[in-house]
Structure 1
Amino acid sequence: MSWFVTGVAAVIGFAATYILVGVPLLPWTLLITLVIAVLANLASRLLPPLDPNWHPLPTGSSAPIATYASSLGARMADAEADRHRFASRIRPRLQALALGRIRRHPGLADAGLGDPAVRELLGVDLHRLLTDPAATMPDPARFATLLARLEEL
């Protein structure tokens, strides 16, 4: 592989110095090409490989769902411990989900979260979670209850 990289670098170096720079064909073009080829060969031998370190995904038909759920669980745990993460990562997604559910109701197609009818539809706890800047991530059982309430809309 390193000889291939060296050869490609030599050809590119030769073409660049002869065509773009206008250096006479011999001896300077060959000298510059040799330097580029040597540097490319050293780089390909000394630098670490660029292959990513992939971890295999779980097998089965639900593998993408399981991976997403695992990632979501980690984000929820982070949001429970850090108010800023809740406000910047979880709450905006919950608000978008809630607005999508709310706007299905007749008469609320253009309603926002501050609308009194929306507040009544959501309930006090869910509305506070979505709108109050001081709200924090509730415990998992309470959060599941609020999500179930949101799903019922």
Structure 2
Amino acid sequence: MTWLVTGVTAALALIVQYVIIGVPLMPWALLITVVVAALAFLGTRLLPPVDPSWQPLPAGGSAPIATHASSLGARLADAESDQHRFANRVRPRLRTLALGRIRRHPGYEDVDLADPRARELLGNDLHRLLTDPAATLPNPVRFAELLTRLEEL
């Protein structure tokens, strides 16, 4: 029924435009109105109604944490080959994480990474990775060991 209302409304608007305003009625405008009304009619009569799909969402590896982990893996792979990316994207986040872990210890609330106590807690390799400007991202196995060390703080 909406096709009829839409078509009639459009046709009446064209006629009002011609009669009241005095704008000449273009035959192509009337033709377009009739075609649109016919398509709306055929669409409502011939196409089946669209029913919603009530199937549950697929379970599995599409969780946000899996997406985040794969994105992190790609970023680390890029940082392994690009020193600039490691220095500007990965290292600052690792430094923030390390400082947070260090400052959880009593008496270390004001410690910075330059403090010898931070080196003592982190270990030489991890401390060098976080502070040495020339340090590069180690291989994945060694990097996992360093992250495990950081997690155990």
Name the TM tier (shorter chain).
Answer: 0.5 to 0.7
Equivalent residue number for residue 140 of structure 2: 140
- When residues 62 and 110 of structure 1 are mapped into structure 2, their CA distance, relative to the original with a 3 A threshold, is farther
Equivalent residue number for residue 93 of structure 1: 93
Distance 2:68 2:100 in 1: 21
Q: By how many angstroms is 1:59 displaced?
A: 4.5
Determine helix, strand or coil for the equivalent of 2:73.
Answer: helix
Aligned-partner residue type, residue 64 of structure 1: P
Equivalent residue number for residue 60 of structure 1: 60
Q: Deviations over 1:79-138 (max 9, x none)?
A: 000000000010000000000000011111011000011111110000000000000000
Q: Deviations over 1:21-71 (max 9, x none)?
A: xxxxx9xxx9xxxxxxxxxxxxxxxxxxxxxxxxxxx85376111111111
TM-score of the pair, normalised by structure 2: 0.61
Within 5 Å, which residues of 2 pair with 1:113-128?
Answer: 113-128=113-128
Within 5 Å, which residues of 2 pair with 1:68-83?
Answer: 68-83=68-83
Aligned-partner residue type, residue 111 of structure 2: A
Distance 1:145 1:118 in 2: 18
Equivalent residue number for residue 43 of structure 1: none
Aligned-partner residue type, residue 136 of structure 1: T
Distance 1:94 1:139 in 2: 16
CA RMSD of aligned residues (A): 2.2
- When residues 131 and 61 of structure 1 are mapped into structure 2, their CA distance, relative to the original with a 3 A threshold, is same
Distance 2:131 2:137 in 1: 13
Equivalent residue number for residue 46 of structure 1: none
Percent identity over paired residues:
74
Equivalent residue number for residue 36 of structure 2: none
Gapped regions of structure 2 (runs ≥ 5): 1-20, 24-57
Q: How many residues align?
A: 100
Aligned-partner residue type, residue 127 of structure 1: H
Distance 1:78 1:60 in 2: 27
